[in-house]
Structure 1
Amino acid sequence: MKISGFTLIELLVSITIFAILSAFSYAILNQSIISSFILDEKNERLRNIQRSIKLIEQDFIQIAPRPIRSELGEGYNGAITTNPTSGFALELTRSGWGNPLGLSRSNLQRVAYQMENDKLIRIHWNVLDRTLGNQFQKDILIDDIESISFTFLNENGEWLQQWPPLSDDKFLSITKRPLGITVIINFMQEGEIRRIFEVSP
């Protein structure tokens, strides 16, 4: 009885074909893993942006007409202010600060936003009328940002770059709130995001 089998050439051809198919399969699998990783990163980035915008919205719609004493006790800073001497892009007092532990504090919170390098930072204090020694908490909301800007809608339907308006009475303006706020964030990758928020009366 004649026994047939693979010749050396046939065996080498089979091994070569198997190696090529394995390489293709690995390349496809590797590309799928990379694509999945990139997609996960983009989705996480989008979720982070959405969370940050939601937090900004909560701050803006709950602005309280409560000014604060300056850190040196020489005057008052407005309930919402873009005063550049503070070092912040925007500073405000908001209501609705949750207190699940029943701590002895107000439900009002002083919040500020500023840019540090390419990061949007949110700062808050545990007291309203703070001094230079009061501690604060800084949270990085979003990175890879080129710029952030705010405009404010007054009772005349005008959008202003600064708040409180310079034309207003200084004493009355410290409790004055805009009717709405536009925030424009320019991202390095995603481009511009613009949102308009109504301030609760």
Structure 2
Amino acid sequence: MSTRRDTQMGFTLVELMVALFIFGIVSAAGVSLLRFSVDSQTASREVLTEMSSIRRMNAALTNDLGQIAPRPARDQAGARQNAFFGGGGADGDLLISFVRRGWSNYDGDARSSLQKVDYRLVDGVLERQAYPYVDGSEALPAAQLVSGVQTIALRYRSEGEWRDRWDPTLATELPDAVELTVVIEGRGPVRQLFQTSVTG
């Protein structure tokens, strides 16, 4: 009597196989969902990092070009430089170089509120390099703004016309605006327009 009851309360081999098959399907679906979630988080993090880099680049250029000063500088060799240099955007070359106003002096150092700033593309990374003094000083460590840059194109507006390079007739001449078009790996071109303090 007890043997028959134990047999009736057990599972057949077919029932066990069906249960294991359903468990396998549910487990596979759970793993796929978890993997999709992780991949989505990774992709979102990469996009947010790219966007924050672009915003950082925009903020730096807006702040610097918005306070540009018609002040020629001198390099470490003492050679006189124009107040604004603007290249075409070749990798490794100096892109733009100028002197800006409004450099905060929280430490009370014996220095001017003017600051010389360079932007250049180095191995696919857009860098901002500043100098502690306008004339004859060595550059401070560069700040990396955007990585994965494939190409950069620059244009300069003056007297209602756009130029591919900045070739001023006067050492103190400044552009009215600077257009930057940057192509980042895996992303289309990003075009930004910056007004200088000349037009402000």
| TM-score bin, normalised by smaller chain | 0.7 to 0.9
Q: Identify the match of residue 115 of structure 1 among 93, 96, 121.
A: 121
Residue matched to 1:17: 22
CA RMSD of aligned residues (A): 2.0
Q: Identify the match of residue 180 of structure 1 among 170, 177, 184.
A: 177
TM-score after normalising by structure 1: 0.86
Q: Distance in 2 between matches of 1:18 and 1:70?
A: 73
Q: Distance in 2 between matches of 1:157 and 1:179?
A: 9
After superposition, give the CA deviation of every residue in 1:129-175 in whole Å (9 maximum; x if it has no partner).
Answer: 025xx242212111111121221111x2111122242xx2xxxx111
TM-score after normalising by structure 2: 0.86
**Does the 8 A contact of 2:94 with 2:119 survive in 1?**
yes
Count of matched residue pairs: 190
The structure 1 segments of at least 4 consecutive aligned residues displaced by more than 3 Å after TM superposition are none
> Identity percentage over the alignment?
30
Q: Which runs of 5+ in 1 are unaligned?
A: none
Query: Which letter does structure 2 place at the counterpart of 1:125?
Result: Y
CA deviation after TM superposition for structure 1 residue 83, in Å: 6.5
Q: How does 1:126-137 map to 2 (within 5 A)?
A: 126-131=132-137, 134-137=138-141
Residue matched to 1:79: 83
CA deviation after TM superposition for structure 1 residue 92, in Å: 0.7
Instruction: Say whether 1:158 aligns with 2:161.
Output: yes
Q: Which runs of 5+ in 2 are unaligned?
A: none
Higher alpha-carbon Rg: 2
Q: Identify the match of residue 146 of structure 2 among 129, 142, 149.
A: 142
* SS at 2:107 equivalent: coil
**Does the 8 A contact of 2:129 with 2:139 survive in 1?**
no
After superposition, give the CA deviation of every residue in 1:63-83 in whole Å (9 maximum; x if it has no partner).
Answer: 111111233224x11111136
